[in-house]
Amino acid sequence: MNDEKEFFELGKRMFDRLNPPPVDWVETNNSACAILRQVHDMLALASFPPKREWVGLTDDEFDSIDPKLSLFQFYKAIEGKLKEKNT
């Protein structure tokens, strides 16, 4: 019985060593910890900028483009208007 308990404890220690619990930020008055937290937050925001919704042309904006343009010029006019609205 004693061997089984020791074997169980050994297995538990090995499991705990191989699977450490996740580390949370330690909230202290330590300025280094606060700086690391701020850097972490800034990098997280920089890595995932907020997505903007695509804005298309209204019917009036589309109709304002001269239909007598060549196909390429018509395309470039549409592209220019879309770039203005989405940048």
Which residues make Cβ contacts (< 8 Å) with residue 26, sequence separation at least 6? 33
Give percent of the chain with pLDDT exceeding 90: 25
* Cα R_g (the chain), whole angstroms: 30
What pLDDT sits at residue 38? 75
What pLDDT sits at residue 82? 92
Instruction: Output the pTM of the full model.
Output: 0.42
Domain spans of the chain?
23-86
- pLDDT band at residue 51 using 50, 70 and 90 as cut-offs: confident
Numbers of helices and strands, H then E, in the chain? 4, 0
Q: What is the pLDDT of residues 9-50, one digit of tens each?
A: 877 777 777 776 666 655 555 667 777 777 777 777 666 666
Helix, strand, or coil (residue 30): coil
Residue with tokens 């499991």: 15
